[in-house]
Structure 1
Amino acid sequence: MQQLELIRALPKAELHVHIEGTFEPELMFAIAQRNQIEIPYKSIDEVKQAYNFHNLQSFLDIYYAGAQVLIHEQDFYDLAWAYFEKCALDRVVHTEMFFDPQTHTDRGVAFETVINGLTRACDDAKQQLNISSHLIMCFLRHLSEAAAFDTLAQALPYKDQIIAIGLDSSELGHPPEKFERVFAKAAEAGFLLVAHAGEEGPADYVWQALDLLKVNRIDHGVRSEEDPALLQRLKAEQMPLTVCPLSNLKLCVVDQMQQHNIQRLLQQGLCVTVNSDDPAYFGGYMNDNFIAITEALDLTDTALKQLAINSFNASFISTADKQKWIAEIESI
């Protein structure tokens, strides 16, 4: 089997994708027109041009601007459904999606509107596409601890629709320790925990996420390689890293894909996974990320299968479901 065929055939779980980051220019333009919202672009091509940026903050600026057009439950449904259709094309059979309620509630959109639209799409994806999913609610780390506590309170009535709490947005200057108390409260409420750490921020942020936030997974984590003791711990605990290669390239975490450390981390026995992060902005969904690292790093078939296996081992699905998908991967 050719490697491209293998990538397409492998069942995969996506564990690091921001649903607001799947907002393709065509859909953004269509929803803006439907909701009669002015955006500073005259055409889809102008929106696409705006998707060119040079660092995390310039990306976040357009990311939050695009989210302004999302107002109604149907908007959030349409956003998620478009992503699920991409999953079907890439053989992503399970996804655990981040959503940022503060991006929407801070401009007057009800929490209920956001979660009901997303949940309805998740239910339809299971029925129509046979894709399972979980929702992970993230706090925006550039906002205050008090704002995070308020968002957690808003989430509690919808606890059965949210599997985990996460932490995203601008990493530099906003260490995990800022949210230690609110993560402890989320754990008390029974949520699983994840956090972005070690992308733009240093390896120390990964230590903080592990020791202070007590996370079940590290999102990104590629800068863990700067600390040998941290690498040993991640390996010993099989702490998953949800790595996003095309995102790392686009945001200049690496200058070229040949420099990416995902292969080294995999060879050292860490539980690294491949994910798309904000695929509408970073130029690729799941299979695009697999193809990019395969071409740049000359990955073997065994490595590709291990990355797919890791995605299920790192997921929040049942042991039986993990075993089912891993058995299929091993049979390919």
Structure 2
Amino acid sequence: MNGLEVSPFIASLPKVELHVHIEGTLSPSLRWKLAHRNNVPLPYPTYEALLESYNVLYNHRKEVNGDNGAPTFLETYFAGTQVLCQEEDFYELGMEFLQKAKEMNVRYVEPFFDLQAYLPRGISAETVCEGYLRAQKEGAERLGVHSNWIMCFIRDQPVEDGISAYKAAQPWAKVAGGKGLFHAVGLAANEYDRPPLLFETAYEMAQKDGLHVTMHCDVDQKDAVDHVHEAIFSVCGGAGTERIDHGLNVIDRPELIEGLKKRGIPLTLCPHAYHRRQATEVLFPKLRRLYDEGVKFCINSDDPTYMHNVWIDGAMEKVYRYCHMTEADMIRLARYGVEMCWADEGLKQRLEQELDDFEASVCGG
């Protein structure tokens, strides 16, 4: 983790995570196991070769930089989804992540999932959602890690395909009569020439069903600043999205920072993901500036197994050290996560109380 070890303070800090892709938590060991169970060929002759593939720095964008022959992050990410075929596979993936969350003192999480990665292979919404639903219930009951999930529209696929996937998943939405797996929709994958407003019909549909709306605005992608502007001022009938995932390019235009604060739109930031492309002395002053200017954000992992196995605790450690944060600052960021999350009020109150108790023990407050 760039030479940093997770400190006892960060390790013990109660956490919530609001930006993690469940498919991006697929460990090499589980991927190997599921590939053999489901007779899915892998381009790696040995487990050691598979492990070595996870050491690659996936920071190249073909659409921006041209094809240098190396796989992009998204190509590798979606290749991993090919081993997920049966309900049990999705359950095991969910439980593996929730167990890891428990070990890191993560109390609540809102994982993204990509239903559209499976439907074209003939894998039903029921297979995917029932597996994750079992993990959601067992994670809360057995591990004490509560979760509400977010179904993503894959933005480099046709909007109509995303709407069809959403309709297939509606029985598992957290709506009247639904099974309660997911309570929000998001927007993920390659946003090159795919601005947020393209998906306005999909957001409106979800909002009418009573679901929350968030969306990725990737860092330093083509038209990144314009995408953030749309997310703040144009989508959802002009009301703006409820949260922005990433969105670090608000730093490039003062009116965007003001727009976030006036509209109360927080960011889910993933500093290790950006650290792949930006130097320490460039990236972390941006985060510190956002914090000092009163922009509400929380710290998250994104796709930890494909990003050098840096999880939320490692991402928070980077912010703690490189942004020169105090313990009180980091507890405040943890509180922001609770305030930003879409858990029920009873759970949010319990999370707030745990942070109060933690702060009193650490800071004497």
- TM-score normalized with structure 2 length: 0.86
Partner of 1:39: 42
Partner SS for 1:68: helix
Q: Distance in 1 between matches of 2:210 and 2:283?
A: 39
Question: Would the aligned equivalents of 1:172 and 1:200 in 2 still touch at CA under 8 Å?
Answer: no
For structure 1, which runs of at least 5 residues remain unmatched after alignment? Answer: none
Residue 336 (structure 2) pairs with residue 310 (structure 1): yes
- 1:16 corresponds in structure 2 to 19
Q: Is the 8 A contact 1:258 1:297 kept in 2?
A: no
| 1:136 alignment counterpart | 150
| Residue deviations 1:28-61 (CA, integer Å, cap 9, x gap) | 0111011121111112222233231233560010
Hey, what's the Cα distance between the residues in 2 that align with 1:128 and 1:220? 31
2:226 is the counterpart of 1:200: no
Distance, in Å, in 1 between the alignment partners of 2:74 and 2:48 is: 19
CA distance in structure 2 between the partners assigned to 1:43 and 1:54 by the alignment: 25
Q: State whether residues 274 and 283 of structure 2, in contact with CA within 8 Å, keep that contact through their aligned partners in structure 1.
A: no
Whether 1:72 aligns to 2:77 is: no
Distance between the aligned counterparts of 2:13 and 2:132, measured in 1?
26
Unaligned runs of 5+ in 2: 1-5, 63-71, 175-180, 359-365
Q: Which residue of 2 aligns with 1:219?
A: 245
CA displacement at 1:196 relative to structure 2: 0.2
* Aligned with residue 119 of structure 2, among 87, 96, 105: 105
Deviations along 1:231-264, one digit per CA (max 9) or x if unpaired, are: 01212233110000111122x1x23366232222
In structure 1, C-alpha distance between the alignment counterparts of 2:333 and 2:171, rounded to whole Å: 36
1:298 shift after superposition: 2.0
Amino acid at match of 1:182: A
| Contact 1:196-1:219 within 8 A present in 2 as well | yes
Q: Which residue does 1:83 correspond to in 2?
A: 97
Relative to 1, partners in 2 of residues 1:320 and 1:127: Cα closer, same or farther, differing over 3 Å?
Answer: closer
Aligned to 1:255: 279
Deviations 1:117-157 (A, max 9, x none): 01101111111111110110001000011111211211222
- Once the two structures are aligned, what percentage of the paired residues are identical? 31
In 2, Cα distance between the equivalents of 1:130 and 1:56? 39
Answer whether contact 1:198 1:224 (CA < 8 A) is retained.
no
Q: Pick one of 215, 231, 234 that aligns with 1:209.
A: 231
| Partner residue, 2:363 | none
The 8 Å contact of residues 197 and 220 in structure 1, kept in 2 or not, is answered as yes
Contact in 2 for aligned 1:305/1:330 (Cα 8 Å): no
- Size of the aligned set, in residue pairs, is 328
- AA at the equivalent of 1:302: A
Could you tell me which of 232, 242, 254 is aligned with 2:268?
242
- The one-letter code sitting in structure 1 at the alignment partner of 2:24 is G
Provide closer, same or farther for how the CA distance between residues 257 and 113 of structure 1 changes in structure 2, counting only shifts above 3 A. farther
